Structure 1
Amino acid sequence: MSISVLVADDSKLSRRSVIRALPQDLDYTISEATNGQEAINLLAETTFDLLLLDLTMPEVDGVGVLEYLHDRASTLNVIVISADFQPEKQKIVISLGAKRFLRKPLDKEELAMAMFELGYL
Structure 2
Amino acid sequence: MKHNLIIADDHKMFLDGLLSILKTESNYNIIFTAKHGGHVQKYISINTEEQIDLVITDVTMPEVDGITLNKWIKENHRTIKTLVVSMHNTPEIIDDLIESNVDATFKKTHKRKNF
Q: Secondary structure at the match of 1:64?
A: helix
**Which structure is higher in helix share?**
1
User: What is the CA distance between 1:85 and its match in structure 2?
Assistant: 0.8
Letter in 2 for 1:85: N
Aligned to 2:87: 83
Aligned to 1:42: 43
CA deviation vs aligned residue, 1:61-102 (integer Å, no higher than 9, x gap): 111111211322522111111111101211211221211110
Aligned to 2:99: 95
Larger radius of gyration: 2
Aligned to 1:119: none
Q: Which runs of 5+ in 2 are unaligned?
A: 111-115
Q: Normalising by structure 1, report the TM-score.
A: 0.76
2:23 touches 2:29 (CA, 8 Å); kept in 1?
A: no
CA deviation vs aligned residue, 1:2-25 (integer Å, no higher than 9, x gap): 210001001121111222343844
Given the alignment of the two structures, is residue 27 of structure 1 paired with residue 30 of structure 2, yes or no?
A: no
Aligned to 1:61: 65
Aligned residue pairs, count: 106
Q: Which runs of 5+ in 1 are unaligned?
A: 107-121
User: Which range moved further: 88-97 or 23-32?
Assistant: 23-32
Q: Normalising by structure 2, report the TM-score.
A: 0.80
Aligned to 1:7: 7
Letter in 2 for 1:65: L
